[in-house]
A = this chain, B = another copy of it.
Amino acid sequence: MTSKYEKIYNEIVLLIQNGTLRANAKLPSENDLSEQYQVTRETIRKALKLLSEHGYIQKIQGKGSIVLDVNKYEFPISGLVSFKELAAKMGQRTRTELVKLGLQVPSDFIKKQLKLEQSEKVWEVIRVRKIDDEKVILDKDYLNENLIPGVTVKVAQNSIYEFIELELGLVISFAKKEITVEEATMEDRNLLDLEGYSSIVVVKSHVYLEDTSLFQYTESRHRPDKFRFVDFARRH
């Protein structure tokens, strides 16, 4: 069940993406929109709030709402998006290789990252991401087996997030991410095509479910020249 304001949001996003609403165009006023969509103004405002938060429009008091210049085919590691979802936007240029999948007693470091009690096990999933046939990203995932049971080779080769959301019916809610640059390890050198680069861009994520339980710790290790992070930020 999608709400009215989400439907309106999606419709307007489509209008912007297919060019019906161009950059710098003015949206109809909130009153007009509430007339058009046969809902109250507050419902329109919820849709416009979403558009504004996602960088599609700018609201200006007393004037109206303006369509912003969206750079569509950016590479948005921003937000909380799985590699498979990213790859879909990049076309046929990406490929994933599963290096390792196992159910393990975690190291002290992983135990600390996942805030585990004694004797809980974790899935270790190590994957190499190829872009244009170069191995440029090393993803090391650690998943709490109590929360995420039954990870298979098939799942790891396809998409863990898809498995969690569709098969297990869980809702992924939020993540805390940290980007740093570190010296490449022996593992990085062995598994990636580093081409002489000696440092690695590391994106560390702690990912949580809707009920605030921490289910995943990930290190996504990128060759520096292939790393790009794009962000839209509003000032508060």
Contacts and interface: CB of A to CB of B under 8 A. Distances in A.
Interface of A: 24, 53-55, 58, 60, 66, 68, 71, 78-80, 172-181, 199, 201, 208, 210-212, 224-225, 227-236
Contacts of A174: 55, 58, 232-235
A179 B181 contact: no
A183 B174 CA distance: 33
Contacts of A199: 181, 199, 224
Closest CB pairs A-B (n = 8) = A181-B224, A80-B235, A179-B229, A177-B231, A80-B233, A174-B234, A58-B212, A172-B235
11 contacts: A60-B210, A79-B234, A173-B234, A173-B235, A174-B233, A174-B235, A177-B231, A177-B233, A179-B228, A181-B225, A229-B229
Contacts of A58: 173-174, 208, 210, 212
